[in-house]
Each structure stands twice: as structure tokens, then as C-alpha cells.
Amino acid sequence: MNPIAVGLVGAGPWATMVHAPMLAAGPETRLVAVWARRPEAARELAHRYGSEAVATYEALLERSDAVAFAVPPDVQAQLGIVAARAGKHLLLEKPLALTLDAARALAAAVDQSGVVTQLVLSYRFRAHTEEFLEAARSLEPIGALAEFLTGGHAAGIFATPWRREHGALLDLGPHVLDLLDAALGPIQHITARGDPRRWFALTCTHAGGAISQAALSGTRGSNETTWRCTVHGRRGTSVFDPHGDDRGPDWGALRRAFAAGVHAGRPSELGVSRGLRLQELIEQAARSASA
């Protein structure tokens, strides 16, 4: 199969650490263009991977069959609609957008255009994750406890304006809600308390009756990250702890999944529809906390 020509929007830390090297590595994809609000950063990143920095978003679309986004959610939602309407396949970050209405608009543009999408849910592309989900589902789960705690929103490369303003629910929440929803069955109802910029707690009721609880924080006073989920069932217990697994995400698997979907013309299970589902759950949690 011919490699897919992918244009990259963004040249910040995540684009530099993940998107650019993943897409340039191939052979399923080629990094054909980079566009960012800081032209010098785009030029540096493009040069590093033998690509081209372009001056406009329109120029990137002209050179690309697909577009990868490594930008804030509100920017992704706006530019993603333009790319979808231009017939470009989309490699999307989580969350899809800052608001549910914006996420719905992006999903509608994808549905109308028929382009293929893939969500970069990084924890889904670890070998340990699928092992955990299979084990958890076999336990006849009755409940789960999850915590995703970090100090990354206070300082460091992930202390970006949108994370500092909106907090852990939009940034860490998609990972936690995706895992709980996949392991225990569809989440039907959420109650939540707290401030996403400090500490946020959720209680989820799943189809089948299981109950899960989760704590999220991006501003705890520690540089260490705790991300753990324990599922309890009638047949035992299963623990998810990715930071005890030094293999890290398999970015090649993500690239291959995206390319396979594009060539086959089929939507990914972890595409825009999954992103919209997670955005709906985030909105439900936010409404519960504000009430």
C-alpha cells in the first residue's frame, strides 16, 4: 500500500515527541508538511524529519491526504471541520473540543464527508491495556476505583493555557472514562464533585449495575504521576498501572491502525464517534459538579 501523505498541524512538545517521529517513521505514512502558529518551530520540526514547513493551513491541506492535529482542543475542532470538508482523513487528539457543541459539529462534519478518523488515546496502544480490559471483562465486574493524579498542569511542558484553565476533567478525564467505560460496560450516569483545576471526583453507574469511582487532579504537589485503575468482580481483581510498564505506547500500532482504516475506508472504533462519546460523558460530569 502506498504511504499516506499526512500534514501535521502544530509544532509544540507533543507534536515533537509523538506525531512527527511517528508519522515520519513510516512506512504506512509520510510526513509531507508541518504548519504551526510559530513558523520557526514549524521549520525546525519539518527540517528534522525531512518534511516541509508551509505558510498556511490551506497549503498543508493541498499537500496532504490526511491531517494530524497536535494543538489545543478548540483549535482542533475548528480546523478539523475544514479538513473534513476538504476530504482529508483526521488523526485527532483528545478531547475533540472544549465544548460538547463544538465536538458535535466536528463529528457531524466527519459523518457528512465520510473521512476516516483515529483518536490518539495513547493508553489504548499499550499491550498491557488490552490484557487488562480482557481480564476485567472476564471478572463479572461489580466495581472499580481509578485515580489519575499529576502535577503536570502546574509546571512543565504540559502546563499549557487550556489545561491550566480547564483542568483535569478535559485533559485526564478522557483516558479514565474511556478505560472505565470499556472495562465495566457503558457508563449510563455520572455524578461528580470538585474543581477540575484542583481535585475532581466522579461516581459512574454502568450498564449491568457496576459502579466505578475516579479521582482526577493535574495540580497535586508532586512531580510523580499516579495512574491506576483496579476492577473488582465476582471472579477476582484486575489492576491497570501503565507507569509500572516500561514498554510505553506502541506508536507504530497507532500509525498502522490509522493507515489501515484509511486504505480500507472504514471508521475506527477509536475514532471521532468514540471521542464524541467521551465528550458527552465529560459534559455530564461537568454539569453534575456545577449543580
Cβ partners under 8 Å of residue 240, min gap 6: 128, 129, 132, 136, 179, 183, 228, 229, 230, 231
Q: What are the pLDDT digits (tens) for 50-66?
A: 999 999 999 999 999 99
Contact 50/26 with Cβ under 8 angstroms? no
CATH architecture assignment, domain 4-122+249-270 = 3-Layer(aba) Sandwich (3.40)
Residue with cell 512531580: 223
Q: Contact at 8 Å (CB) between 82 and 69?
A: no
The pTM of this model reads 0.95
Q: Give alpha helix (H) positions in 1-72.
A: 13-14, 20-25, 39-48, 57-63
- Which residues face 147 on adjacent strands? 215, 228
Q: Which residue has 472495562 as its cell numbers?
A: 183
Q: Quick one: pLDDT at residue 248? A: 84
The pLDDT, as a whole number, for residue 246 is 66
Give ranges for CATH 3.30.360.10 in the chain.
127-247
pLDDT confidence of residue 119? 98
**The pLDDT value given to residue 57:** 98
Please report the pLDDT score of residue 267 as a whole number. Answer: 86
Q: Are 212 and 146 in contact (CB under 8 A)?
A: yes
Q: Where in the chain is the domain with CATH 3.40.50.720?
A: 4-122+249-270
Low pLDDT (below 50) residues in the chain: none
Residue 58 CB contacts under 8 Å (≥ 6 apart), including other chains: none
pLDDT digits (tens, 9 = 90+) for 236-251: 999 999 876 667 899 9
Grid coordinates of 288: 453534575
Q: In sequence order, which residues have a C-beta less than 8 Å from that of residue 156 and are 6 or more positions away?
A: 223
The superfamily CATH assigns to domain 127-247 is Dihydrodipicolinate Reductase; domain 2 (3.30.360.10)
CA distance 34 to 45: 8
